Structure 1
Amino acid sequence: MSKPSHILVIRLSAMGDVAMTVPVLHILTQTYPELKITILSRPFFKPFFEGIPNLNFLEADVYGEHKRFGLIKLAKEAQELGIEAVADLHNLIRSKIITKFLKFKGLKTATIDKGRAEKKALIAAEGENISQLKTTHQRYADVFEKLGFPIDLKQFTPPARKRLSPKLNGLIGVEPKKLIGIAPFAAYESKMYPLGLMAEVIRELDRSEKFRIFLFGGGKKEIKQLQQLENPFANVTNVAGKLSFEEELALISNLDLMLSMDSGNGHLAAMYGVPVVTLWGVTHPYAGFVPFNQPESNQLVADRKMYPLIPTSVYGNKFPKGYDDAMKTILPEMVVSKIKETLL
């Protein structure tokens, strides 16, 4: 049976998970330049995929037009584009419905193995003899291999940095300083570095006069907190609520480093080849969500002698009493030292 020439790739949410598909798709299209890709995702994520050759974007309005039975309509729309195979990188109910419909129509399909059993075992180990699980990026790559397209994740060529608008150039300024993004928020507080400690990190970086720092976040509460974090410092700018998503991506692509939690912004930076330093609380790099192509040394983990049960959950939503303070064991001087080691 001949290889498919056009693959539908499904990855609907969340932001970090969708961003993790981007370097994999870059490698896939570089390895197989004749292969056509249609990515099915939420409209908000469309800017992620700009510049990937032979890639079309199909918008999924899963809360409106494509809700419930609208998923079948969406599957038919994909089929009308001439797809010959389906790579389900989502493996939840919406993508399963689309994939099963298209499989019934005779298309070849492959679905991600999320490793739920291995991740459950990682948490159940309560910190004893834990080891690295397969990365999410490799799990994505495995799906394409099932369809006849093996890829080597080491063969990544980062995309070109996005062009900076006059507005962004104005924010950056003309002084020759290294550009650092800081994204201090995450879905759960157990994965967030305390803002008081983050202020100490920023104070030390600001004082050196070697860095221009941009704060990323979203939502009214976060924006207010970031404004308070920005105010005391000359070299710090809060961009939350001030830029469009496309402008944020352009700025991120031009950073020299991103400091992130176990959250989406780290993955956004990594998809442009930007070095990422990640801070880990009750979650752990071994679960497979390290930003793409980032070394283990860039993963700063809470003190597991003081908090031996880490990782207590895969996503940070479950932890024993007292473990919400685990992040405090990553000292500000450790963070600053790692940033300077990476950049200077």
Structure 2
Amino acid sequence: MGDVAMTVPVLLALTDKYPDVKITFLTKPFFAPIISKIPNVSVFTADVKGAHKGPLGLWKLFKQLREMDVDAVADLHNVLRSNILKIFFGLYGIPVEQMDKGRKEKRKLISGKIKELHSLTPMYLRYRSVFERHGFEFSVHKAHVLGKHRITTDFGTSFIPKGKKLIGIAPFAAFSGKIYPLALMETLISELAALKDVKILLFGGGQKERTVLEDWDQKFAGCTSIAGKLPFKAELALISNLEVMISMDSGNGHLAAMYGVPVITLWGVTHPAAGFAPFGQSVENQIVSNRDEFPLIPTSVYGNKFPPGYDQVMKTISPEQIVKRVRQILIID
């Protein structure tokens, strides 16, 4: 999900510079609402668990795409499926350019041998370079974000009381090494809920996550769990109207960033130097775990690997640090 969201500023910049270029964005059905508001971009959904499953399914997918008279392909994912499609397009002379994932420099970054970290190429620039190799020259600026969605009355009044500043919190991630300790998160929510004229919206996915979020919903006034209550498109509308999002190194931060929402990212065993910081965010919005205490950070690019003891890294981030940054963004004395 985060990978799809990170393409949005690049696509907006591209279509802004080249309004006559027609783009077909290939993705899974669930992610279609992320792309649907971009001018001159249509979405084609792949059924990778059904009609487009396996090599034969990908061949069927390729034939459907070829019927669109595709002139060139920009592979922004560079995974097994897209590499198979690359072969198919190549058989018919259709040029394909692929994203350079920077695997070599990322391996060096997570080797544990680097005392002073230097930032790698941000993901949005890696995406842009794919289009540049196709001959499209353009710049990507902070202004290349989507606008706020209009909140419709059928659910808006339930979650957005008038006069309140909306704080989004997405406290979960795919791997435990990227999740802020729940006890500290509860303290954070308690302190934020005490701020004047704020409303906290909690975002999450799985059933286990929903249980935790519902507990906090019941425990703290002015705090509402969104998990499982709205279709994805409606969740995006809410996210677009946030004043600030507090996220782990996860997809929700990138969703908020594509709307220009300030995103405070809490980093555990991963680090923004790998290039995955949400688009357009300041250094001050990157709250990282203490590398003096845990010098092997980042232990992995995606947070799935870390040595013994490194499950404690995020305890070095205090709730007070986060509240201070929220106050600065919301301009609360």
For this structure pair, what is the TM-score category when the shorter chain's length is used for normalisation?
Answer: over 0.9
Aligned partners of 1:232, 1:127: CA distance in 2, in Å? 43
Matched, 1:33 2:19: yes
Matched, 1:108 2:95: yes
- Aligned runs of 1:53-64 on 2, under 5 Å? 53-64=39-50
State which drifts further: 182-191 or 223-232: 223-232
Matched, 1:252 2:262: no
Q: Which amino acid is the alignment partner of residue 243 of structure 2?
A: D
Aligned partners of 2:74, 2:161: CA distance in 1, in Å? 45
The Cα of 1:173 is off from its aligned counterpart by: 4.2
Unaligned runs of 5+ in 1: 1-14
Q: Which amino acid is the alignment partner of residue 173 of structure 2?
A: A
Q: Per-residue displacement from partner, 1:150-202 (whole Å, max 9, x unpaired)?
A: 22112633222111121332123443121011000001111000111111111
Partner SS state of residue 46, structure 1: helix
State which drifts further: 151-160 or 234-243: 151-160
Aligned to 1:11: none
Of the three residues 274, 282, 289, the one matched with 1:302 is: 289
**Alignment check: 8 A CA contact 1:127 1:311 kept:** no
- Aligned runs of 1:50-129 on 2, under 5 Å? 50-68=36-54, 69-129=56-116
Matched, 1:46 2:22: no
Q: Number of residues paired by the alignment? A: 330
Q: Which amino acid is the alignment partner of residue 71 of structure 2?
A: E
Aligned partners of 1:269, 1:167: CA distance in 2, in Å? 22
The Cα of 1:21 is off from its aligned counterpart by: 1.0
CA separation of 1:174 and 1:215: change in aligned 2, threshold 3 A: closer
Identity %: 52
Of the three residues 9, 16, 31, the one matched with 2:2 is: 16
Aligned partners of 1:80, 1:167: CA distance in 2, in Å? 40
CA separation of 1:340 and 1:84: change in aligned 2, threshold 3 A: same
Q: TM-score, normalised by structure 1?
A: 0.93
**Alignment check: 8 A CA contact 2:270 2:299 kept:** yes
Q: Which amino acid is the alignment partner of residue 73 of structure 1?
A: K
Aligned partners of 1:155, 1:128: CA distance in 2, in Å? 31
Unaligned runs of 5+ in 2: none
Q: TM-score, normalised by structure 2?
A: 0.96
RMSD of aligned alpha carbons: 1.2
- Aligned runs of 1:96-245 on 2, under 5 Å? 96-154=83-141, 156-245=143-232
Aligned to 1:12: none
Aligned partners of 1:111, 1:211: CA distance in 2, in Å? 44
Of the three residues 318, 324, 331, the one matched with 2:311 is: 324
The Cα of 1:320 is off from its aligned counterpart by: 1.1
Q: Which amino acid is the alignment partner of residue 98 of structure 1?
A: L
